[in-house]
Amino acid sequence: MPQLDPTWFISQFFWLCICFFFMLFLMSKIFIPKIKDILEQRQRKIDDYLVKAHQIKEQAEESLKKYNEALVKATADANEALENARKEMNVYIAKKQDELTQKLNTKLLEGEAQIKETREKALKEVKNISQDWALDIVKKLELTKIDAEDIKKGIEKVVNH
Amino acid sequence: MSNPMEQFNIQPIIPIKVGGYDISFTNSSLFMVLAVVVSVLLFAICLRKRTIVPSLSQSVPEALYEFISNLLKENAGAEALRYFSFIFTIFLFVAFGNLLGLFPYSFTFTSHVAAVGGLSLIALLFNICIGIKKKKWGYWRTFMPNGIPMALAPLIMPIEMISFLSKPFSLTVRLVANMTVGHIMLKIIAGFVLALGVGGVVPVLFNSCIVVFEIFIALLQAFIYTVLSCIYLSDAIHSH
């Protein structure tokens, strides 16, 4: 077997050492640092992006928190404003109702007074007409004992009943 | 049919002799140099324009880096990442050695005991250096597992030493045997192509399938060699 022929052992070992150590030198001094460098750069970039993503996420969460707080505050403010408006409205309605009731009462009183006045006027007219009619009847019946004063009293008595 | 072992013959290209030692530049040396040149060129091209979002070509060395890095972390812990360059180079050197050997008329230096054994020896020496640097004299405890009575030391320590020294041997034999057998099989089947005439199409198709399988084996063996190197490195770094 040529593999076991010791003639070329030293030559092979010599060239192996030269080639291997030369390759080791090139790899360790040139290529491996290049690969290592680019991998580190990539890792740094990825880490940077991850940190940025984390920061953006935190900012977004902070914004969301602020938004929710603002929403809660706005809702509370709106509810308070609504409540105030409701209260003002109730006060206004109550005031208007009072005014209306007062007006209605005044109108009612005026109406009643007017009715009373009309009634009294009508009664007065009824009294006068009744008195005139009664006087005419008395004259036609020639009842001399009954004078105008008696008739007036009699009619007053009937009407006041 | 030519001898299937011929493909493993080493041919000198540039004869060099230093101090009585023959260190000629051979076809084996040529393919070692080619493994370095091809892998370095591939890395240089792929990493020419580096961007944060990687292109397809940039992903290849990055994926290899991540793969070997994870392999080392899983097998030897994060502490072993200091020696990443060494393990990464071992993987690339073996993988490209195996893959280049699959080209027709090429030479597979990873099928040679001297080349792979030399690499395993380098890995072993590397592990010993790390172990001694890290544990100082305590490194000798590597050959004396915890809980073993001192009385058994004369028996256990030689066994542990043999076990320790057999690691590069097993690494070497595994890779060499796999590469040798695969290439012999390819050569034998290829020999049938001309012999069978028109029917030679069958061994061609069969060989095509085996080449695909051999590509898989080439990468798998490089992976196994690297995993075992990581485990041996872990033994050197951590306590027994």
pLDDT per position as a tens digit, A6-41: 888 899 999 999 999 999 999 999 999 999 999 999
Type of residue found at B193: V
Answer whether residue A105 is part of any domain. Answer: yes
Provide the mean pLDDT of chain A.
91
| Most distant pair of Cα atoms in chain B: their distance | 72
Please report whether residue A120 resides in a domain: yes
B28 is in which domain, residue-wise? 6-237
For residue B141, the model assigns a pLDDT of: 76
pLDDT of amino acid B53: 87
Which residues have C-beta within 8 Å of that of residue B207, sequence separation ≥ 6? B186, B189, B190, B193
Position B240 scores a pLDDT of 54
The first and second tokens of residue A58, run together, are 């935190």
Whether B207 and B98 have beta carbons less than 8 Å apart is answered as no
> Domain total for chain B?
1
Nearest chain A residue to B45, by CA: A31
Examine residue A76 and state whether it is found in any structural domain, yes or no. Answer: yes
A19: closest CA of chain B, how far (Å):
6
Segment of A107-111, A124-128, A150-154 carrying the highest mean pLDDT: A107-111
pLDDT at B1: 53
Cross-chain Cβ contact B10/A24 below 8 Å: no
In the prediction, which pLDDT does B209 show?
Answer: 92
pLDDT for the residue numbered A131? 85
Asked whether the predicted pLDDT for residue A68 surpasses 70, the reply is yes
- For residue A120, give its domain range: 41-160
Which contacts qualify for B126-131: CB closer than 8 Å, 24 or more apart?
Answer: B126/B83, B126/B86, B126/B233, B127/B232, B127/B233, B127/B235, B127/B236, B128/B236, B130/B83, B130/B233, B130/B236, B130/B237, B131/B235, B131/B236, B131/B237
The token duo for B8 is: 């493993």
Is B1 part of a structural domain of the chain?
A: no
* CA B213 and chain centroid, separation: 18
Alpha-carbon span A98 to A119, nearest angstrom: 30
Task: Examine residue A51 and state whether it is found in any structural domain, yes or no.
Answer: yes
CA B224 – CA A31 distance, rounded (Å): 23
For residue B239, the model assigns a pLDDT of 60
**pLDDT, tens digit (0-9, with 9 covering 90-100), for A88-120:** 999 999 999 999 999 999 999 999 999 999 988
B155 alpha-carbon distance from chain centroid? 33
Q: Which residues in chain B are contacts of A15 at CB distance < 8 A?
A: 23, 25-26, 28-29, 32-33
Residue B70 maps to a domain: yes
Rounded Cα gap, residues B127 and B124, in angstroms: 5
Q: In this complex, do B180 and A8 lie within 8 Å of one another by their Cβ atoms?
A: no
Cα separation values, B76 from A17, B81, B89, B122, Å:
25, 8, 17, 18
Signed CA dihedral, A11, A13, A15, A18: sign only: negative
Residue ranges of chain B with per-residue pLDDT less than 50? none
Q: Is residue A70 part of a domain?
A: yes
Residue among A8, A28, A31 whose CB faces B47 most closely: A31
**What's the confidence (pLDDT) of residue A158?**
82
Residue A8 and residue B28: Cβ atoms within 8 Å?
Answer: yes
Q: Is residue B102 in a domain?
A: yes
Q: Say whether B119 and A16 touch across the interface (CB within 8 A).
A: yes
Look at residue A53 and tell me if it is in a domain.
Answer: yes
Range picked from A51-55, A128-132, B156-160 for highest mean pLDDT = A51-55
Q: How many domains does chain A have?
A: 1
* pLDDT (mean) for A122-139: 87
- Cβ–Cβ gap A38/B65 under 8 Å: no
DSSP letters spanning B107-170: --GGG-HHHHHHHHHHHHHHHHHHHHHHHGGGGGGGGS-TT--GGGHHHHHHHHHHHHHHHHHH
Residue A12 domain-assigned (yes or no): no
Give the span between the Cα atoms of B131 and B239, in whole angstroms: 10
Distance, CA of B91 to CA of B226 (rounded, Å): 6
Percentage of chain A beyond pLDDT 90 is 67
Q: Please indicate, yes or no, if residue A1 is contained in any of the structural domains.
A: no
